[in-house]
Amino acid sequence: MAVTKSIENASLSIEVQSGTDKAGDAIYSKKTFSNLKTDAPAQNIYDVADAIKNVMEASTRDYFVNESSTLVNA
């Protein structure tokens, strides 16, 4: 039997510098944007994340797409 995967929801997370530690190294936390279209092309998601980064005061690091899926044994 074939198993199919169906993406139920997705969100975009951007690592944002939230401070520095005692050694002066950057500390990052994630800012998450929910309700991402599950069929959005990767380039479009990247472009939106890059646009958000450009208006943020704090520096950023990496972008993440978090997906939650259902597996169905058909």
DSSP character string of 17-31: EEEE-TTS-EEEEEE
Read off the pLDDT of residues 57-71 as tens digits, 9 standing for 90 and up.
999 999 999 999 999
Residue type, 24: G
Rounded Cα distance, 38 and 34, in Å:
11
- Entry field: residues in the chain: 74
Read off the pLDDT of residues 12-28 as tens digits, 9 standing for 90 and up.
999 999 999 999 999 99
**Domains in the chain: boundaries:** 3-73
**Residue 1 pLDDT > 80, yes or no?**
no
